[in-house]
Chains A and B, each alone.
Chain A
Amino acid sequence: MPPSAIIDDARKQGRVLLTEIEAKQLLEDAGVPVSPARLARTRDDAMKMAEQLGFPIVLKIVSPQITHKSDVGGVALNLVSSEDVGAAFDRIVAAAKRHEPDAVIDGVAVQRMEKQGIEVIIGMISDPQFGPVLMFGLGGVLVEVLKDVAFRVVPLNERDARQMVHEIKGYPMLDGYRGQDLADVAGLQQLLLKVSDFVERHPDVAELDLNPVFAYKDGAIAVDARIVLTADASEASP
């Protein structure tokens, strides 16, 4: 589906929240490194897609009514074979139906279980005064409790991206603190620039969370993605 079709589709259905699969598709098309997710409607689909993506695999329930997937037993991690994937497909669909009998279940998202990296968050909000603003921070507890994040208004230049990564207090965590693996700081900066570019090209995107992004010694990948559209369609959208 071309990017405009994904947004048009959501608009037609009266949705402002894109599914993870849609969000990742949009980002992937824009060259933002994401862990791809595919929608499997059947057990066989899921097993085939898992073979294509490579193991280990994660499955997540896809339903517009279910936002907290793990609360309803809708997530299965670390599936190492297609038999595992098949069994897990049946299990999480059944669990979701049991917890949320009224929910419409579109299927199951199949994605690779990425190897753990240093968790960071990259986000975007539309500031009422200044327009799109990017956020960068370390993931998990550090962002929740310490609010250790940096902001810059879009569009970012290279200096902005560099300053964002360096100005968080947790920067030493990315820089090999106590023998931690070094994160690819330059790669994170490039990722921020790509997200800035993505946001500029998609005025319909009101909010964006890439959380977590795993940062590795070499490269970084967004493991989860969430996109909220503006309430009204943008005139500038393609």
Chain B
Amino acid sequence: MAMTEQEILEGLGKIINEITGIPASEVTPEKSFVDDLDIDSLSMVEIAVAAQDEFNVEIPDDQLKNLKTVKDVVNFIQA
């Protein structure tokens, strides 16, 4: 069963909260990881790995650098 955008967003919010301490409520689609959420590249790797486990989707390092906003990641997972 495919996940809805909302379900993915909530799952991602939990992961980001666990790894960075940022409240899940702040993880909204338009936010940029680097500029808005202050999440650096090492945390992005941790988030990508956790998202792989949670959503069963491969996010290799060379794709990761193209994912700038929360919405980019949600779209990637949905695709």
A and B pair up: no
- B residues sitting closer than 8 Å to A (CB atoms) are none
